[in-house]
Structure formats: C-alpha cells, structure tokens
C-alpha cells in the first residue's frame, strides 16, 4: 500500500488582487522524498510554499499537511528557507542558531551540540563568532539551511535553496539535504534550475501559470521522449510542418516555443538533413544533446501552452 502523502493539495486557488498565482493547483508529496517544484519565475512555486509554511491560507481548495490544514503549530515540524534572506546581520552564526534553538524549545546542551555540528557541516565552524554581515552570500545561504535543520524537521520547505552560490557550496547543501532525507525527512523545494533538479529529485512537478501540468520521477517525466533532443532555431514553423516531423520514424515529442523547436529522436544524424529539406534557410541553428529533464519540461509545458492557444 502506498504511503500516506506528507502533503496533499486539491484545486488550490490563490490570488493577489487581480493576479491569479495558483489556479487549481493539485499535488501530492510522498514522505521521505526530495520533491522539486519546477517552473519559471511567476509560475506559482513561491506562493504554494508560503501556503505550506502557513504564512498564508489558500482562498479556495484543500491543503493538508499530515492530514490537517497547515497551521503555525506545524512550524516545529517544518524547516523553512525562503527565497529572500532573513538573517540578522549584527548577530554571529553561533548566536543565531542558539536563538532559534531556544525558540524551538531545544534543551541547552542539545542546542549547543547541534549548532556546533551544523556549523561544521556547512563549513562555517571557523566563522561561528563573526558577524553575519561579514559572510558572503553563499555562506549566508548555508547558514539559513543550518537554521532550518536545527530542530531536525520532518518536512523541509526550500525556495530556490541554491540560487547565487557556487558549485562546491551547492554540493555541500545537497549532501545535507540527502542526509536529512535518509533520516526520514521530506524535502520540498522550488527551483527553475532543471539541470540540478534532474540530478537530485526523487520526484518533480512541472508548474505553469499556477497549475501542475505533469508530475513523476525524472525518468517518468522523460518517458515518451527519445535518447537525444535536437534543438532547432526555426523561423515561423508551420503547424503542418511540425505535424509532418512528428510523423517521422524515430521522432518522439515535438515542442515549440516561438522560434525554437525541440524534437526528441533516436536518430539525430538522419533527422537533421530531413529538417533542412523541409524548412531550408528558415533553420538558422541546430544543436544536439542527450535528453534531459529540461527537455521534458519544455515538451510538457510547450505542448500545454500550444493547446491552450488553439483553444
């Protein structure tokens, strides 16, 4: 029997004045997974995370964490890192973690040991007594993650957790999050970095215009796509031309975003000459790469956008 979801959202609607941020948002997050919310800026990712963290209440629909609507009392079970930093620049890392340990009700000795261990894990042990104002942006991001992990939460809610930090720092952060997952925590994070998501996610949801348009493991989301993706810069491709390409042997999905066409295929070497026979000089650039989660996202979102435009 499948495990009961940690988080279940049904037809969530949320508006900011005239702007609809979430429009029928529906999702289930299984326990013990690293789950990515993938979509462009403005797609509704941050709004949904704010609802999960009980900062706001949905205006319509049902949202439940552990079978109940999110409420402030759940914050003892949730660790949160928002997109915008919220650290006091006049405090030191050690002081910050000690303060939050008291807020979470941790015993003094346990608070000290966890703070020391986390500062070591995020590479800030030598800066524990320095003012936060003197830390780099990447260091501050790692400190925010340490703060979120301090009380050993069951659910981590992270908005763009690795934005603006270097590759080594990203690796350190994902090692910490993978360790939290191994201890049984669920990690829900929002990103528009599809390469990173392909590498770390157990499951992911593609989000567009406040709706979930596809959900699954990275491999499930790529299913239906072929081994390679051909990206074509194609001036004014016509519907009948795209339909013709989609009918060719070895071609899977064909998706279009303005003058870029992505074609999944098992035989790019044969496909490309046929494309030039079809479109000639209207094709100005072609590239080939192994199919990725980014290609799956483009295929799902592009196809949905195209269907809506025709409707």
**For 204-257, how does the pLDDT look when each residue is reduced to its tens digit (9 = 90+)?**
999 999 999 999 999 899 876 788 899 999 999 999 999 999 999 889 889 888
In the predicted structure, residue 151 carries a pLDDT above the cut 80: yes
Q: Is the pLDDT of residue 40 over 90?
A: no
35: confidence class by pLDDT, cuts 50, 70, 90: very high
Pick the CATH number of 7-218 from 3.30.450.60, 1.10.10.10, 3.40.640.10, 3.40.50.300: 3.40.50.300
Domain 228-290, second-level architecture? 2-Layer Sandwich (3.30)
Average pLDDT, the chain: 90
Q: For residue 106, what are the CA distances in angstroms to 110, 112, 193, 199, 246?
A: 6, 9, 35, 34, 59
Coil, strand or helix: which one is 106?
coil
pTM of the entire predicted model = 0.83
Indicate the domain borders of the chain. Answer: 7-218, 228-290
For residue 185, give both structure tokens.
């925590």
Q: Binning pLDDT at 50, 70 and 90, where does residue 169 land? A: confident
% of the chain surpassing 70 pLDDT: 96
7-218 with 228-290: one CATH topology? Answer: no
Residue 2: predicted pLDDT: 60
| pLDDT of amino acid 202 | 96
The predicted-structure confidence for 93-140, as pLDDT tens digits, reads as follows 999 999 999 888 899 899 899 999 999 988 899 999 999 999 998 899
- Closest by Cα among 224, 169, 172, 214 to 194: 214
């Amino acid at each position: 029997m499948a495990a009961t979801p940690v988080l279940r959202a049904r037809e969530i609607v949320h508006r900011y004045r005239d702007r609809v941020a979430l429009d029928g948002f529906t999702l289930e997050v299984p326990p013990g997974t690293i789950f990515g919310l993938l979509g462009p800026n403005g797609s509704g990712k941050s709004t949904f995370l704010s609802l999960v963290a009980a900062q706001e209440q949905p205006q319509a629909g049902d949202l439940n964490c552990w079978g109940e609507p999110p409420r402030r009392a759940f914050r003892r079970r949730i660790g949160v890192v928002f997109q915008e930093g919220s650290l006091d620049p006049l405090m030191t890392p050690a002081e910050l973690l000690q303060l939050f340990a008291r807020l979470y009700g941790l015993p003094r000795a346990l608070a000290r040991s966890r703070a020391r261990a986390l500062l070591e894990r995020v590479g800030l042990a030598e800066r524990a007594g320095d003012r936060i104002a003197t830390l780099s942006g990447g260091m501050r991001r790692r400190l925010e993650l340490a703060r979120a992990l301090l009380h050993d939460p069951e659910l981590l809610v992270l908005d763009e957790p690795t934005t603006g930090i270097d590759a080594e720092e990203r690796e350190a952060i994902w090692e910490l999050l993978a360790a939290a997952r191994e201890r049984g925590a669920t990690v829900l994070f929002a990103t528009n970095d599809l390469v990173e998501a392909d590498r770390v996610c157990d499951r992911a949801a593609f989000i567009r215009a406040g709706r979930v348009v596809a959900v699954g493991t990275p491999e499930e989301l790529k299913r239906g796509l072929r081994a390679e993706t051909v990206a074509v810069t194609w001036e004014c491709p016509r519907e009948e031309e795209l339909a013709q390409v989609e009918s060719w042997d070895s071609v899977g999905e064909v998706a279009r975003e303005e003058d870029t066409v992505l074609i999944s295929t098992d035989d790019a070497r044969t496909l490309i000459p046929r494309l030039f026979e079809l479109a000639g000089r209207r094709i100005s650039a072609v590239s080939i790469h192994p199919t990725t989660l980014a290609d799956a996202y483009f295929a799902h979102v592009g196809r949905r956008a195209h269907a809506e435009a025709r409707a």
